[in-house]
């Protein structure tokens, strides 16, 4: 975690539940910090699994920070872990339903988001400040990029017999979501889960169940994929009660 205090708190909770836990500080928007994280992990053996849930939300950060953390940081992390992942390993990165709400960007831009070298990706025209309306738009772009980057990296991870996928959750009750509920878009989010087919927000355990499948042998044929788990909110956005008028 970038916030070492948060990392200590979570590690203490997990340790009390019987898990062996190590915590460390990492800022995924910084390649050197990611390399240090990898070095620390390798002190305990080969890296065989990755779960990336790092990120910031539209109510927490500026456009520049969202792009640096959620977009660039995720791309660098997948690239660096892909260099050292153990044969047969697997990974999951958390994206968002937001990436599915945005209009189609076209094949050329999708390919740019997927394949542009990581140190050049923030120079893409579509990611320049004058082309981004607000922090929500930046977040949507970042999450669309996550999904495309997973597809690209899956091809490289596959050369090592490893797999990488993403999960795009809807409204999940987490500290980040609570910030959103209490932020300027709070009513928007509350309306979203009230009018989606499930009629409720999701839980972290429900997303963990999907991650467990993707990381296990039961998910051995799944790679380069994105699992949309939003209680039907995206379906409702296009074809139901949440459809824009």
Quick one: angle between helices 135-158 and 74-84, nearest 10?
A: 10
Q: Which long-range contacts (CB under 8 A, 24 or more apart) does 42-48 make?
A: 42/84, 46/84, 46/86, 46/89, 47/81, 47/84, 47/85, 47/86, 47/89, 48/85, 48/86, 48/88, 48/89, 48/90
* Active-site residue (options: 68, 72, 143, 237): 143
- Both tokens of 241, joined, read 């009660």
Neighbours of 216 (CB within 10 A): 10
- Tell me which H or E stretch contains 172: none
- Catalytic residue check, 139: yes
Residue matched to tokens 């205090």 = 5
* Active-site residue (options: 72, 139, 152, 189): 139
Residue matched to tokens 């500026």 = 62
- Catalytic residue check, 143: yes
Output the CA angle 68-10-35, nearest 5 degrees. 40
Residue environment code for 229-243, b if the CB has 16+ CB neighbours within 10 A, otherwise e:
bbbbbbbbbeeeebe
Residue environment code for 33-71, b if the CB has 16+ CB neighbours within 10 A, otherwise e:
bbeebbeebeeeeebeebebebbbbbbbbebeebbbbbb
Task: Return the active site residues.
Answer: 139, 143
């Amino acid at each position: 975690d970038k916030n070492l205090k948060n990392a200590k708190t979570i590690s203490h909770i997990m340790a009390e539940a019987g898990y062996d836990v190590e915590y460390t500080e990492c800022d995924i928007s910084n390649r050197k910090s990611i390399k240090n994280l990898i070095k620390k992990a390798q002190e305990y053996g080969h890296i065989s699994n990755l779960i990336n849930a790092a990120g910031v939300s539209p109510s927490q950060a500026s456009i520049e920070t969202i792009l640096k953390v959620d977009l660039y940081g995720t791309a660098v992390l997948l690239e660096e872990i892909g260099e050292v992942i153990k044969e047969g390993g697997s990974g999951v990165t958390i994206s968002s339903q937001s990436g599915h709400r945005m209009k189609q960007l076209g094949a050329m831009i999708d390919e740019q988001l997927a394949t542009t070298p990581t140190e050049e990706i923030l120079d893409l025209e579509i990611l320049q400040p004058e082309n981004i309306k607000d922090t929500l738009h930046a977040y949507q772009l970042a999450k669309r990029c996550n999904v495309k980057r997973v597809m690209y990296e899956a091809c490289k991870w596959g050369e090592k017999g490893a797999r990488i996928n993403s999960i795009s959750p809807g409204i999940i009750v987490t500290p980040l979501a609570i910030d959103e509920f209490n932020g300027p878009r709070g009513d928007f989010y509350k309306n979203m889960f009230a009018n989606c087919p499930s009629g409720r927000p999701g839980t972290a355990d429900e997303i963990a169940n999907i991650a467990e499948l993707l990381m296990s042998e039961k998910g051995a044929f799944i790679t380069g994929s994105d699992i949309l788990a939003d209680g039907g909110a995206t379906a409702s956005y296009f074809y139901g009660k949440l459809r824009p008028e």
